[in-house]
Protein backbone atom coordinates (compact mmCIF):
# COMPACT_ATOMS: atom_id res chain seq x y z
CA UNK A 1 0.00 0.00 0.00
CA UNK A 2 1.36 3.40 -0.97
CA UNK A 3 1.81 5.97 1.78
CA UNK A 4 2.70 9.62 2.21
CA UNK A 5 4.36 11.48 5.05
CA UNK A 6 2.93 14.27 7.16
CA UNK A 7 5.22 16.74 5.35
CA UNK A 8 3.94 15.58 1.97
CA UNK A 9 0.38 16.10 3.20
CA UNK A 10 1.30 19.61 4.40
CA UNK A 11 2.82 20.40 0.99
CA UNK A 12 -0.30 19.11 -0.82
CA UNK A 13 -2.56 21.25 1.35
CA UNK A 14 -0.31 24.30 0.89
CA UNK A 15 -0.48 23.85 -2.87
CA UNK A 16 -4.29 23.56 -2.78
CA UNK A 17 -4.52 26.71 -0.63
CA UNK A 18 -2.21 28.65 -2.94
CA UNK A 19 0.58 29.01 -0.39
CA UNK A 20 3.02 26.88 -2.37
CA UNK A 21 3.80 27.19 -6.05
CA UNK A 22 5.45 24.68 -8.34
CA UNK A 23 9.12 24.24 -7.54
CA UNK A 24 8.90 26.26 -4.32
CA UNK A 25 9.39 25.25 -0.70
CA UNK A 26 7.32 26.50 2.18
CA UNK A 27 8.66 29.35 4.28
CA UNK A 28 9.38 28.32 7.87
CA UNK A 29 6.50 30.41 9.19
CA UNK A 30 4.02 28.89 6.75
CA UNK A 31 5.29 25.40 7.47
CA UNK A 32 4.84 25.93 11.20
CA UNK A 33 1.27 27.26 10.83
CA UNK A 34 0.16 24.53 8.43
CA UNK A 35 1.85 21.81 10.50
CA UNK A 36 -0.02 22.97 13.63
CA UNK A 37 -3.28 22.92 11.68
CA UNK A 38 -2.45 19.38 10.51
CA UNK A 39 -2.25 18.34 14.17
CA UNK A 40 -5.62 19.98 14.79
CA UNK A 41 -7.09 18.16 11.77
CA UNK A 42 -5.77 14.78 12.94
CA UNK A 43 -7.25 15.41 16.40
CA UNK A 44 -10.60 16.51 14.97
CA UNK A 45 -10.86 13.48 12.69
CA UNK A 46 -10.11 11.18 15.63
CA UNK A 47 -12.57 12.95 17.95
CA UNK A 48 -15.31 12.78 15.32
CA UNK A 49 -14.51 9.05 14.96
CA UNK A 50 -13.87 9.40 11.24
CA UNK A 51 -10.36 7.99 11.28
CA UNK A 52 -7.27 7.84 13.41
CA UNK A 53 -3.82 8.49 12.01
CA UNK A 54 -1.61 6.13 13.96
CA UNK A 55 1.64 6.80 12.09
CA UNK A 56 2.01 10.27 10.61
CA UNK A 57 4.95 9.14 8.49
CA UNK A 58 2.85 6.45 6.79
CA UNK A 59 -0.51 7.97 5.95
CA UNK A 60 -2.34 5.85 3.35
CA UNK A 61 -2.05 7.55 -0.03
CA UNK A 62 -5.74 6.88 -0.72
CA UNK A 63 -6.58 9.30 2.11
CA UNK A 64 -4.19 12.04 0.98
CA UNK A 65 -6.31 14.02 -1.51
CA UNK A 66 -9.20 14.23 0.93
CA UNK A 67 -7.08 15.03 3.97
CA UNK A 68 -5.17 17.64 1.96
CA UNK A 69 -8.47 19.22 0.91
CA UNK A 70 -9.63 19.31 4.54
CA UNK A 71 -6.33 20.83 5.65
CA UNK A 72 -6.40 23.38 2.80
CA UNK A 73 -9.95 24.28 3.83
CA UNK A 74 -8.74 24.90 7.40
CA UNK A 75 -5.78 27.06 6.38
CA UNK A 76 -7.61 28.77 3.52
CA UNK A 77 -8.66 31.87 5.47
CA UNK A 78 -4.98 32.61 6.17
CA UNK A 79 -4.36 32.65 2.40
CA UNK A 80 -7.48 34.46 1.20
CA UNK A 81 -9.75 31.46 0.62
CA UNK A 82 -12.97 31.18 2.61
CA UNK A 83 -13.63 28.10 4.78
CA UNK A 84 -16.55 26.12 3.38
CA UNK A 85 -18.66 23.64 5.27
CA UNK A 86 -19.42 21.78 2.02
CA UNK A 87 -15.75 20.92 1.44
CA UNK A 88 -15.53 19.66 5.00
CA UNK A 89 -18.68 17.53 4.77
CA UNK A 90 -17.87 15.98 1.39
CA UNK A 91 -14.27 15.07 2.23
CA UNK A 92 -15.16 13.69 5.66
CA UNK A 93 -17.87 11.53 4.07
CA UNK A 94 -15.37 10.13 1.57
CA UNK A 95 -12.87 9.39 4.34
CA UNK A 96 -15.58 7.61 6.35
CA UNK A 97 -16.34 5.48 3.31
CA UNK A 98 -12.67 4.63 2.79
CA UNK A 99 -12.14 3.41 6.35
CA UNK A 100 -15.46 1.79 7.15
CA UNK A 101 -15.42 -1.87 8.09
CA UNK A 102 -11.63 -1.98 8.13
CA UNK A 103 -9.50 -2.86 11.11
CA UNK A 104 -7.48 0.00 12.55
CA UNK A 105 -4.83 -2.36 13.98
CA UNK A 106 -4.53 -0.05 16.95
CA UNK A 107 -4.02 -1.63 20.38
CA UNK A 108 -7.20 -1.66 22.39
CA UNK A 109 -7.27 -0.42 25.96
CA UNK A 110 -8.42 -3.12 28.33
CA UNK A 111 -11.07 -2.04 30.80
CA UNK A 112 -11.18 -4.34 33.79
CA UNK A 113 -14.00 -4.03 36.29
pLDDT digits (tens, 9 = 90+) for 50-107: 999 889 999 999 999 999 999 999 999 988 899 999 999 999 999 999 988 666 666 7
> Which of residues 30 and 101 earns the better pLDDT score?
30
Domain count, the chain: 1
Domain that holds residue 66: 3-99
Please report whether residue 110 resides in a domain. no
Q: How far is CA 102 from CA 33, 52, 64, 105, 106, in A?
A: 32, 12, 17, 9, 11
Which sign, positive or negative, has the C-alpha torsion 30, 16, 84, 95? negative
- Identify any residues that bridge with 60 across adjacent strands, giving them in sequence order: 3
Enter the pTM of the model: 0.83
Interatomic CA distance for residues 104 and 102, integer angstroms: 6
Interatomic CA distance for residues 62 and 78, integer angstroms: 27
Please report whether residue 25 resides in a domain. yes
Please report whether residue 93 resides in a domain. yes
Amino acid sequence: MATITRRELVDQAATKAGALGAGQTLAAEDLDVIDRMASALFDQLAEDEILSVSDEEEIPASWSPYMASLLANLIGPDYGIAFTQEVKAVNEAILRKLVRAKGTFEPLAVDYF
